[in-house]
Amino acid sequence: MNDIKIKTVNLSKWYSKIIGLNSFQLDISSGITGLVGPNGSGKSTFFKLAIGALKPKTGQIIVLGQNPWMNQKLMSDIGFCPDYDSLSDETTGKEFLELVGGLHGLKGINLKNRIDETSEIVGMKEDLYRKIGGYSKGMRQRIKIAGSILHNPKLLLLDEPLSGADPNVRKSLINLIKSLKNDLGHDIVVSSHVLYEIERMTSKIALIYKGRAIASGEISDIRNLIDEHPHNIIIEGTKLEELAKKLLEKKYTISVGYQENRKKIKVQVSKPDEFFDNITEIITDLNCEVTQMYSLDDNLEAVFNYLVER
C-alpha cells in the first residue's frame, strides 16, 4: 500500500462540456509507469490534477499521500515536465534553471552544483548560456527535463517528453528516462500516445481512453485481457477454404475472411487459447499445409486497440 505513489478515486474533471477525466480510477506504484492513450484521452488533465494546477470536479487524487490542490509544499517532492512548450525564448538555459532552482529554495553553490549536475545528465552543459529561442526541439525537451529533476524530486511526471523529437533524440531521451530511474532512483510517470516508445521504457502501463483508465498493470497482465476479446490470426497455406469451413464450426470463431487473393485467411476468435489448442489438430485432420500463422495482436498497439474499442 505504501508503494502507491498516485491514487485516484472516481476522479472527474471537465471543462464546460468537454470531459477531461471521467470517474478515473488508477493506482500508480513506484518504478516507471507509462500512461498510454491517444491525443485528447485525458493524460495531460491527469498530470495537471496531479500537480494541483487543476481542481477535481468530483472524486479524489492523492499524490505521495497528499492532496495536491492548493498544496504547494508537495511540489518539493514532484518534478513536472509538461507536454507543451513552457519555456521563454528570451532567457538562457542557465537563467531558466536558476529560476527553477531558486523557486525550490536552492541558492549559491548548491544551486550552481545542481545546475552543473543536471545539465550534465541531460547533455546540455555546453548549451546552457544560449538563449532558449535558439534551441532545437530536442534541446528544449532536455532543458525541461533538467528543470524537473533539478531539485531531486521523489516523483517525476513527464508528459509526452518525446513529442516532436526526431528519432535519434527520441532514442536518447528514452535512455535518459530509463537512467533517471535506474541510476538516480526517481519514480517516473511518463505519458505518450506512441505505445512502441513506452514499451521501450517500461513494462508497466496504464491505458487511458476518453477520460478513463481502461486497463493498467504489467504488459503481460494486459495481454491476458486480450484473451477476453476478439483476436485476429492470419493463416497462410493450402486448403484454406476447407480450413475456413472447419473453423467456422467452432464456437470460438467469430468470423473468417480471405485476404490477398485467397492466399491467406484472417480468423477472428473470441477465445484464442482454445483456438491455439485446437488448430494443430484441425490442420492435421485436413492435411493442410500451413506456411505461416501469426497473430495480429502480438504487439502493444493491438492491445491498446482492443481495449479502447470495447
Other residues' Cβ atoms within 10 Å of the Cβ of residue 102? 11
| Least distance in angstroms from the C-beta of 254 to other proteins | 42
| Least distance in angstroms from the C-beta of 99 to other proteins | 4
| Least distance in angstroms from the C-beta of 120 to other proteins | 21
Residue 179 is classified by DSSP as H
| Least distance in angstroms from the C-beta of 176 to other proteins | 20
| Residue number, 208 or 244, with CB nearest to other proteins | 208
Q: Which of residues 51-80 bind other proteins (CB under 8 A)?
A: 51-55, 70, 72-76, 78, 80
CA 17 from centre of chain: 26
Q: With CB under 8 A, what is the number of residues at the site for other proteins?
A: 36
| Residue number, 80 or 304, with CB nearest to other proteins | 80
Q: For the purposes of burial, counting CB atoms within 10 Å of the CB of 227, is it exposed (0-12), middle (13-18) or buried (19 or more)?
A: middle
According to CB under 8 A, which one of 10, 25, 58, 86 is a site residue for other proteins?
Answer: 86
Q: Following DSSP, what letter does each residue of 125-144 receive, concatenated?
A: GGGTTSBGGG--HHHHHHHH
Residue 43 binds to other proteins (criterion: CB under 8 A): no
The answer to whether 171 and 124 have CB atoms below 8 angstroms apart is no
Residue 28 binds to other proteins (criterion: CB under 8 A): no
Three-class DSSP category at 22: strand
User: What string of H, E and C letters represents the secondary structure of 228-291?
Assistant: CCCEEEEEEECCHHHHHHHHHCCCCEEEEEEECCCCEEEEEECCHHHHHHHHHHHHHHHCCCEE
According to CB under 8 A, which one of 103, 113, 116, 136 is a site residue for other proteins?
Answer: 103
| Least distance in angstroms from the C-beta of 126 to other proteins | 23
| Residue number, 127 or 159, with CB nearest to other proteins | 159
| Least distance in angstroms from the C-beta of 97 to other proteins | 10
Residue 93 binds to other proteins (criterion: CB under 8 A): no
Q: Which of residues 125-184 bind other proteins (CB under 8 A)?
A: 147
| Least distance in angstroms from the C-beta of 100 to other proteins | 6
User: What string of H, E and C letters represents the secondary structure of 189-210?
Assistant: EEEECCHHHHHHHCCEEEEEEC
Task: Single out the residue of 176, 225, 229, 175 nearest to residue 205, CA to CA.
Answer: 225
Please state, in angstroms and rounded to a whole number, the distance separating the CA atoms of residues 50 and 298: 33
Q: What is the contact surface with other proteins in residues (CB under 8 A)?
A: 15, 48, 51-55, 70, 72-76, 78, 80, 82, 84-88, 90-91, 95-96, 98-107, 147
